[in-house]
Structure 1
Amino acid sequence: MRKNGIVVWLLCVSLTGLSAEGNAKSPDPSGVTYHLDTITQGDHLTAVRLRLRFRADKDGKATLRLPDRWGGGDRFYERLKDLDIKGAKTVTTPEPAVREINAKPYALITVSYRLEANRTPGQEVPLDTNYTYPVIAPDWFYITGPGLFAVVEGRDPQAQHFSWSLPRGWTGATNLQYPTPPELNEAADQSVLLAGKDVHIAQLKVKSGDLRIAWRGHFDQFTSDAFNASVHDIINAEQSFWGEGQDHFLVTLAPSESAKGGRSIRGSGLGESFAMVATPETELGALKIILAHEYFHSWNPLRLGGFDPDEEEKSGYWFSEGFTDYYARKLAYEGGAVDAQQFMATWNDALRAYAASPYRTAPNSVIVEKFWNDPLVQKLPYQRGSMLAVLLDARWRAQGKSMDGFIHVLRDQARADTASKAPHVKLIDRLNRAATAYGVDFGDLIDRYMLKGEAMTLPEDAFGAKFRVVSEDVPVRTLGYDPDKSRAAGAFVAVDPEGPAYRAGIREGMKRLRVESRGVGDGHDVITAVVEGAEGKPQTITFTATGKDYIRTQKLILR
């Protein structure tokens, strides 16, 4: 993740296609002015162009960092076209994503580059592409900040500005429209821009202020009104928990390509906003917990002390992601956004996936090393952290305390640190400081379960009086062929004559057209394979991925 971000706000929005750049004043020597133009051919968008204007430092130098990496994507700078830097004597490239500028003292520097359209008419966000990359179609675009913004090092966040010009008939929404709070000092890395001919914006009121919801495209299972109501209820519930909220908040939703019978949901909590991309088949119930998770990121970790620097950030994902998962489920249920059955189903999916994870007992160092490269490792801090929150809440409730009380103390201490401009306090030190002030302790739970990776088990009464935790043995998920090699070959490879796929009729070398899964994570998973049958006609084969071995898992039931 890039740490050299900016705080920006929208100066002007032109929906007529006329650029506001011509009237822009010379930039403040301590700031940067950004303007986004759209390039069209007829009625179609062909590219977007970003222009930066800033002044060199008093020694004539400036360091420009191009879009590079974020959210599992990397080398964003390779997508930039016609990069041009004017006003400099010399420009050097010490690293692919860095430009060192040497100019006259306080010289006006102008940087421009463009991103070309990468979608054709009717195409949505690619299903198999990391959504952090810019998506630019002929009639709309969806861009998260790290894929667009270059950053000038050492500039005053409050002296940086953004504007854009959109084609006639387009509507756009961005979280750069309003001033960003001081604790969000990386708004370029925390921004989303959604604009197009069919973008619709709803403006609602929540407890703390204004809520904007920007939506485009079509979803089969719910209406925009139902989605808007869910977002409204979740945000109100979480603002009630915190006793505060944002003056302005933005939610964006855009469709991805169809998953052909499955579903895919991708979301990212950003500065005063969250951005979501989902397949058209997605049900509203599947979005609610994700909505709750992403909104909770408005506080965790940003208003609870922030991330630790550099690689240490990943070592704390069990808190920033795992505790957020715990509260997303808890507050969505307590606020009425989901019912008891949905609450249990969400927890049971997580507990089953944890029990089946091949990394279940891996130390935290494995998460730091492989988080962005292995999807199963990526899920582990979510699973562990949410379970630790349950264990701690159960322990502290027995002492007349609660996880809620602890989190509020942590928040209050972070507020005091911000007000006094105290230096950054590392996560484990912040947690221990808050525990001491609240009169509780972690014992050795963090060391055992989060750092060393010991297997975790929840006690029967961990969720209080309404739910009970029970254990059961379930069959291991076994396909009976090599899924990775089969996917790459387009045919079934290493089919086990003793496995479930073979028993259902799949044979070695059979052409693989499509494979879908219910995704339940254990041997109850139902697999639907479409193969090339007799005379080249598609044939559907369905089987249950039940292996011979069993794993012990836990689940919630009603008392």
Structure 2
Amino acid sequence: MTRAVPAALALLLIGAAPAPPAGVEYAMTPMTGANGLAAIDITLRFAGDADGTTVVELPNAWAGSDKLYEAIGDLTAEGGRIAGGGAPDKRRIDHAPGAPITLRYRIAKLTAADPAVEYEKARPVLRPNFFYIHGEGALATLEGRLAEPARFRWGPAPAGWRVAGSLDSAPRFTVNDAAQGIFIGGTDLRIASRDVGGQKVTTVLRGRFPYSDVEFADALAKVIAASNAYWQAPAVPYFVPMIPLTGWETGAMSYGGTGRTGGFALAATPNVPMTDIVRLLAHEYGHRWLGGSLGPLARPDAAEYWFTEGFNDFVTNSVLVRAGLRDEKEAAAALNELFLRYASSPARTKPYAALAESFWQDGDAQQQVYDRGNMLALALDSQASVRAALVQMAQHPGRFAPGETQAGRFLRVFPALTPARRDAMLAGTPVDLLGNLFYACGPLRWQEQPRYESGYSAEEKDGVLRFETVDTASPAWAAGLRPGMRYVRRESFKYGDSRVPIVMRVADEQGERVLSWLPRSEERVRFQQFELKPKAGAACRKRLAGN
């Protein structure tokens, strides 16, 4: 007996377009031309909102940069119509309820030069032979749908190019996570991998550094294994790219990184020592928890950077000792640098709200946020184990209210940090440490020395850096530095420490010369220093490792 199939059902069976998958699918494709890279094409596929209107949020402001949407062009939508008007960082798409939408756009603004020490990481770096893109500067998101699942795929790579990104191995992620990815491609990428706890750790380098790719990958693997042990956490895949920065040719030294979904992104001048890179690797991997899985972040984020960044620096020193990448002498030296830098900072007593407000514009404010949190963690660790509290937060997230921030959760699991003590720190009350904090290693003692003062100011005009003012009462003047001289490069210096001379090559109409002076003022600074016992040994290493 033949049964008739209803017309509506027949359409579903033979002619209807398949429903788009849940969430958002991203695709990224590098496009090349006669002169190399010409553009990055980005595609989003998703189901439109049920009410027939979907609002697309374009990249706007992040990491101190704004108007990021200006890099986006050729925006089109299949399955709907882009409405005119509205805010410059938003686009409204009108469509049938739940209709499948394909959004396409292009980033075609090539960067004028290779990234230098002051480059804006929020803006996509597009050069003829490579690209380096933080998701916040390139990936559009959908209003109200950041928590939806997301997928990512690469389009075809041009001949001779390799591409890689932090989302490639991420098992599950959301739209918000995708927008915090890192993406790299080029003709000269060197990709390596290591197995850590059964998971793949990938490194991607371009350019040349004073250490080998093998040393870089091995150090990262040790950092990740030690961090997982510190947090008592399982291994996960991780992705770490690093690009070189220009400017080191004239003595500039810079390095920095940003935690990403499934990894972290690095950039450094080739003259940065491996020890500094290793410290940064440990700090950035620590964002898997601090600033990551430990709970919601404050809004704005900087409001609790004293915890997510400062406590992360506290953990970093322990992790490096645990990994065997710092011995007790190196750990003590790192702590002594912290103590001097914290005591000498012109931002030491500023209210935290002022530090947070100028975090991305003021280097002293930014460093003080890290150091103040680190000092607070060290002070608290003399009363109870900070590590134990952090591990408790990591292993038992269900004990906290869903909206409670990470710093708020820590206050609940660490009673010694009372609201009054936290508020004193936020107000700028200096944090002093107990002399027996590192009882197995040696005492902390108070010292004094002249405050660091370079003695000059400089200004760059038309690509030439010249000394604008020189204090006539300073050691810089006594050494022969004069206004109008041209800066060539620093031979050596240690910012913040008046005991270490500045050695600088300068030039004037008489030619180049090397000047040297102690960067000190008449004012003195009082600070604590860690005096390591001659035979500290295993007990000291255990204490420094957070055990």
TM-score norm. by structure 1 comes to: 0.85
Deviates most, 334-343 or 271-280: 334-343
Please give the secondary structure, in 2, of the residue aligned with 1:472.
strand
Q: What are the residue-to-residue correspondences of 1:235-274 with 2, within 5 Å?
A: 235-260=224-249, 261-274=251-264
Q: In structure 2, what is the equivalent of residue 12 of structure 1? A: none
Sort the Cα spacing of 1:285 and 1:514 in 2 relative to 1 into closer, same or farther, 3 A.
closer
Contact 1:303 1:415 in 2 (8 A): no
**CA offsets per residue over residues 469-519 of structure 1, 9 Å max, x none?**
222112112233334589999433332221122111122333445567623
Give the AA of the match of 1:175.
Answer: S
**How is 1:164-179 mapped onto 2 (pairs within 5 angstroms)?**
164-165=154-155, 166-179=157-170
1:390 to 378, 381, 386: 378
CA distance in 2, matches of 1:509, 1:475: 27
Residue number in structure 2 paired with 1:509: 484
Cross-structure match for 1:76: 68
Of residues 405-414 and 519-528 in structure 1, the stretch that sits farther from structure 2 once superposed is 519-528
Query: Are 2:366 and 1:375 equivalent residues in the alignment?
Result: no
- Of 347-356 and 285-294, deviating more is 347-356
Task: Identify if the C-alpha distance between structure 1 residues 428 and 532 changes in structure 2 by more than 3 Å, giving closer, same or farther.
Answer: closer
User: Which structure 1 residue ranges, 5 or more long, are not aligned?
Assistant: 1-24, 397-401
SS of 1:195's partner is strand
Matching residue of 1:523: 498
1:532 partner letter = A
Are 1:339 and 2:327 counterparts?
A: yes
Which residue of structure 1 lines up, in the alignment, with residue 294 of structure 2? Answer: 304
Give the superposition deviation at 1:155. 3.4
1:155 alignment partner, one of 145, 152, 166 = 145
Q: 2:224 touches 2:285 (CA, 8 Å); kept in 1?
A: yes
Aligned-pair identity (%): 29
Given that 2:470 and 2:483 are in contact with CA atoms closer than 8 Å, whether structure 1 keeps it comes out as yes
In 1, are the aligned partners of 2:145 and 2:175 still within 8 Å (CA)? no
Query: In structure 2, do the counterparts of structure 1 residues 515 and 223 end up closer, same or farther at CA, with 3 Å as the change threshold?
Result: closer
Contact 2:82–2:91, Cα closer than 8 Å, also in 1: no
Q: What is aligned with 2:409?
A: 430
2:447 matches 1:500:
no
Change (3 A) 1:495 1:532: same
Query: Aligned equivalents of 2:138 and 2:419: distance in 1?
Result: 45
Q: Which residue of 2 aligns with 1:315?
A: 303
Give the corresponding residue for 2:219: 230
Whether 1:541 aligns to 2:515 is yes
**8 A contact 2:503–2:514 mirrored in 1:** yes
Pairing partner for 1:468 from 440, 443, 449: 443
Q: Distance in 2 between matches of 1:27 and 1:337?
A: 52
State the distance in 2 between where 1:441 and 1:531 align: 50
Indicate if the aligned counterparts of 1:145 and 1:191 stay in contact, CA closer than 8 A: yes
Map Cα deviations across residues 18-62 of structure 1 (whole Å, 9 max, x no partner).
Answer: xxxxxxx96626422222122111472121111223332222100
Code of the residue aligned with 1:251 in structure 2: it is V
- The Cα of 1:249 is off from its aligned counterpart by 1.3
Contact 1:262 1:517 in 2 (8 A): no
Question: 5 Å matches for 1:87-486?
Answer: 87-116=79-108, 118-119=110-111, 124-155=114-145, 157=147, 159-165=149-155, 166-181=157-172, 186-207=176-197, 209-219=199-209, 221-260=210-249, 261-308=251-298, 310-311=299-300, 313-396=301-384, 402-416=385-399, 423-435=402-414, 442=418, 444-449=420-425, 451-483=426-458
AA aligned opposite 1:314: A
Deviating more after overlay: 82-91 vs 457-466: 82-91
Preserved CA contact (<8 Å) 2:54 2:92: yes
Cα distance, 1:82 vs structure 2: 2.6
State the alpha-carbon separation in 2 of the partners of residues 211 and 337 from structure 1.
Answer: 18
Structure 2 counterpart SS, 1:355: helix
2:478 counterpart SS class: helix
CA deviation profile, 1:249-268 (whole Å, cap 9, x unmatched): 11112211142334211111
Give the equivalent residue in structure 1 for 2:531.
Answer: 557
Instruction: State how 1:51-66 maps to structure 2 within 5 Å.
Output: 51-66=43-58
Greater shift after overlay, 295-304 or 333-342? 333-342
Q: Which has the larger radius of gyration?
A: 2
SS of residue paired to 1:338:
coil
SS at match of 2:291: coil
Cα distance in 2 for residues equivalent to 1:226 and 1:315 = 36
Q: Which moved more, 1:153-162 or 1:259-268?
A: 153-162
1:173 aligned counterpart, secondary structure: strand
CA deviation string 1:313-335 (max 9, x = no partner): 32211110011000001111122
Q: Within 2, Cα distance between the matches of 1:79 and 1:510?
A: 39
State the SS of the aligned residue for 2:353: helix
The farther-off stretch of 138-147 and 93-102 is 93-102
Whichever residue aligns with residue 357 of structure 1, its letter is: S
1:255/1:501 CA distance change after superposition, 3 Å: same
Contact persistence 2:294–2:393 (CA under 8 A):
yes
CA shift for structure 1 position 383: 0.4
1:281-331 CA distances to partner (integer Å, 9 max, x unpaired)?
Answer: 2221111111111111101132211312x22x3221111001100000111
> Within 1, Cα distance between the matches of 2:18 and 2:446?
67
3-state secondary structure, aligned to 2:246: coil
Q: Which whole-Å deviations, capped at 9, do the CAs of 1:431-482 have from their partners, x for residues lacking one?
A: 232235xxx5547432222x21101211211123114322211211223333
Q: Which residue in the other structure is 1:22 paired with?
A: none
Q: Is the 8 A contact 1:127 1:258 kept in 2?
A: yes
Equivalent residue pairs, number: 515
Cα displacement (A) at 1:416:
4.9
Q: TM-score, normalised by structure 2?
A: 0.87
2:536 is aligned to none
Q: Is the contact between residue 60 and residue 102 of structure 1 (CA under 8 Å) also seen in structure 2?
A: yes
Give the deviation of 1:169 after TM superposition.
2.4
Whether the 8 Å CA contact 1:246–1:272 is kept in 2: the answer is no
Distance 1:83 1:94 in 2: 15
Change (3 A) 1:485 1:283: closer
Partner of residue 35, structure 1: 27
- The Cα shift of 1:105 comes to 2.3
- Give the distance between the partners of 1:346 and 1:99, measured in 2 at CA: 49
Which amino acid in structure 2 is aligned with residue 554 of structure 1?
Answer: Q
Contact 2:146 2:175 in 1 (8 A): no
DSSP 3-state at the match of 1:84? strand
Which range moves more in the overlay, 73-82 or 425-434?
425-434
Letter in 2 for 1:269: G
Residues of 1 paired with 2:124 and 2:78: CA distance?
A: 25
Kindly provide the CA deviation profile for residues 58-99 of structure 1, in whole angstroms up to 9, marking residues without a partner as x: 221001111112222222111223333444345244322111
Q: Gapped runs of 5+ residues in structure 2?
A: 1-16, 534-547
Amino acid at match of 1:455: P
Question: CA–CA distance in 2 between the matches of 1:145 and 1:78?
Answer: 15
Contact 1:355 1:553 in 2 (8 A): yes
Distance, in Å, in 1 between the alignment partners of 2:358 and 2:46 is: 38
Find the aligned partners of 2:386 and 2:135 in 1 and give their Cα distance.
34
Residues in 1 aligned to 2:51 and 2:461: alpha-carbon distance in whole angstroms: 59
Root-mean-square deviation (CA, aligned residues, Å) is 2.6
CA contact (8 A) 1:288 1:338 kept: no
* C-alpha separation in 2, matches of 1:447 and 1:298: 27
In 2: Cα distance, 1:314 partner to 1:475 partner: 32
SS at match of 1:177: coil
